Amino acid sequence: MKNLMYLLVGVCLLYSYSETPKEKEVSVFDVEITGFLKDYVSIHLK
């Protein structure tokens, strides 16, 4: 039973990392990123 549980957890972990995140474009106004995410998120104004 324990081996089956480890197998299922392993498959779930592999499945969750199988696809890389894609870039998304959103429309925003008057935005300022603060906190932990400010090093990873950039804002490009058109």
Give, for all 46 residues of the chain, the pLDDT tens digit: 888 888 988 888 877 766 666 777 777 777 777 888 778 877 776 6
43 in Cβ contact with 33 (< 8 Å): yes
Q: Amino acid identity, residue 41?
A: V
34 in Cβ contact with 43 (< 8 Å): no
Q: Which residue has the tokens 């081996």?
A: 3
Give me the pLDDT at residue 18, please: 63
CA 41 – CA 31 distance, rounded (Å): 11
Please give the model's pTM, rounded to 2 decimal places: 0.38
Helix, strand, or coil (residue 11): helix
